[in-house]
Structure 1
């Protein structure tokens, strides 16, 4: 048996090393990159949800928001709850301007703490008082809105002529239904005496002017969110033959002066 020469062994080692390098070079290397949501993708998702690129010139709205506030009978409440509803239509006149009209419906429930001892409210021997009250109101309203960034967003291709945007608005409303049902009880015996139905009472009967700032967003095909705030200005008028509450007392004549209060609305509802 002949010995293998050193040059031959060197050649075999070189061939084996070359084959290993070739096989290693032919292997496919897989690497997994971390998935990240870009800012552009988030903006596209936001425009999709708010229908920013869908042109809409008319929006029918049905919205709701809770509201326990009450401009009358707040001296002695122990519990109160309410619900407001917005039924309206908004129509674009230009991409930046719209007009709206509709109704605001307000439901109020007040339950007053009963007196622990007999109470003569007017000092005339009458021991009766109110313990529960339900109020139903409906306002007719008209208004206009100026979407101050809409034209610029359309020029930049970020929006279409729709109802998703920030706006400055002016709204005027007047009550057309004002009905109060209140239960009267005897403060001595605790028994219910009667239930009164009263139409047209209190400062709700006066026109209201509401300049405001707000933002409205569409939420998919059938939703919208509308948030606005501003000073609510009540414009009273004086009755010719009687003061406001029609009870023979002139104490309430101070309410003939205009009043200003902060109003905040946050409405979520359906829009078509």
Structure 2
């Protein structure tokens, strides 16, 4: 009997085990509610700080009140992570920082001065940034430099052929996307590049009156030994989706300041969006000072203040908005109308011929048609370039309106607030 009970318990336990194994198990998958996100290093995508570079050919527009305006062709080579050397050829269209379109419209290669330049740059914080993983060995960053300019062809036969000039630089150079670069610097030179310096004798190196402090902007195309990288969408980098109703703009100043000669030019503007349509209104005030004391017996000072109102139409904004590529960020191509008023005052003094002293006041009404492109970058930087078809009217001119309209250009870089 006892054996029969044990056998029965064994059979029941086996049946129970079989019943448990026969239970069906099902599996299911649910989609993850977390959306995959892409993190963009905007600074790196624009300025290519983490792309190593050792060679770079540059072709750029150069504008400076000291070195003049023209096209600069340069080659820069990295000898050490913090040290580079550059050789350049500068086709100087003007001794002063004038509009590029004026000279291209009436271009004559016989009127171009040719300069050569040698430059050494010390990127003083490059090694530290490389160690921290913030930078690769390239040409992007602040620097301290030494430069030497020498003319090889001058369109006029000057009496002084000793036109070599040395300078100490402090600047910032950076790559801009795959094939762009920008270089802004402040330099102390031992002589100026204006026409008067060619006429005088060789200026003494040790005399402070022969030194001049000036700014220089060089912006253009760059080709090097880097591989083109896939950057994030343009608008993801420069905040195209930012809604901007108004902005203050301050131009980077153009200066040439010495004891004998001073030039200062700058501009402040405020731009305001008008309603929901792609229109904006801009008011700006520009100031320029030119003080010439090259010849102590006949100093000259010219001061100019100009105020303008612009109506701008960003004609591609609606097209971009429909494709989700932009909002009203006051960036993009535009067409515009300008009206303004300019006041000029020129004062000349002649020590030995006071009868020739002059105090000239000129008031001018300006009208213009504009076609340009403006771009905000990182909320605090802007670039604005335009072609300008301008007509001026002298207020005190007996033959009002005799001035002919002319085509010119304007390029501005600066900061927004």
TM-score of the superposed pair, with normalisation by structure 2: 0.40
- In 2, the alpha carbon distance for the partners of 1:227 and 1:260 equals 20
Match of 2:375 in 1: 217
Structure 2 residue 409 is matched with structure 1 residue 264: yes
Aligned match of 2:330: 163
Compute the displacement of 1:56 (Å). Answer: 0.5
Which one of the candidate residues 181, 196, 205 is aligned to 2:347? Answer: 181
Q: 2:243 aligns with which of 26, 44, 55?
A: 55
Whole-Å separation in 2 of the counterparts to 1:254 and 1:225? 38
Contact 1:95/1:161, CA 8 A, preserved across alignment:
no
Unaligned runs of 5+ in 1: 1-34, 69-78, 115-129, 188-192, 245-252
Give me the whole-angstrom Cα distance separating, in 2, the residues matched to 1:161 and 1:89: 16
Shift of the alpha carbon at 1:110? 4.6
Deviation at 1:142, TM superposition (A): 0.9
Matched, 1:98 2:277: no
Between the aligned partners of 1:171 and 1:256, the Cα distance in structure 2 is 17
Comparing both chains, which one has the higher relative contact order based on Cα–Cα distances under 8 Å and sequence gaps of 6 or more?
A: 1
Is contact 2:305-2:344 (8 Å) kept?
yes
C-alpha distance in structure 2 between counterparts of 1:259 and 1:112, whole Å: 33
Determine the C-alpha separation between the residues in 2 that align with 1:36 and 1:254: 59
Q: Is the 8 A contact 1:65 1:267 kept in 2?
A: no
How far, CA to CA, are the matches of 1:185 and 1:197 in structure 2? 12
Distance in 1 separating the partners of 2:228 and 2:358: 63
How is 1:191-202 mapped onto 2 (pairs within 5 angstroms)?
Answer: 198=359, 200-201=361-362
Aligned residues: 187
SS at match of 1:258: coil
Whether the 8 Å CA contact 1:49–1:218 is kept in 2: the answer is no
The CA distance in 2 between the partners of 1:82 and 1:262, in whole Å, is: 24
Q: Which residue of structure 1 aligns with residue 320 of structure 2?
A: 153
After superposition, the CA RMSD in angstroms is: 3.3
**C-alpha distance in structure 2 between counterparts of 1:51 and 1:58, whole Å:** 15
The structure whose Rg is larger is 1
SS at match of 2:299: strand
Displacement of 1:108 in angstroms is: 2.5
Query: Shift in Å at residue 235 of structure 1?
Result: 1.9
For 2:264 and 2:406, locate their aligned partners in 1 and report how far apart those are by CA, in whole Å: 19
Between 1:143-152 and 1:104-113, the stretch displaced more is 104-113
Q: Is the 8 A contact 2:339 2:365 kept in 1?
A: yes
Counterpart-to-counterpart distance in 2, 1:105 and 1:268: 16
Secondary structure at the counterpart of residue 301 of structure 2: strand
* Alignment check: 8 A CA contact 1:133 1:182 kept: yes
> 1:207 Cα shift?
0.1
Q: How does 1:1-272 map to 2 (within 5 A)?
A: 37-38=229-230, 41-42=231-232, 44=233, 46-64=234-252, 66=254, 82-93=263-274, 94-110=276-292, 131-175=298-342, 177-186=343-352, 198=359, 200-201=361-362, 205-237=363-395, 239=396, 244=397, 257-272=402-417
Could you tell me whether the CA contact under 8 Å between 2:264 and 2:288 is conserved in 1?
Answer: yes
Provide the rounded CA distance (Å) in 2 between the counterparts of 1:222 and 1:195. Answer: 49
Separation of aligned partners in 1, 2:408 and 2:292: 20
Partner of 2:35: none
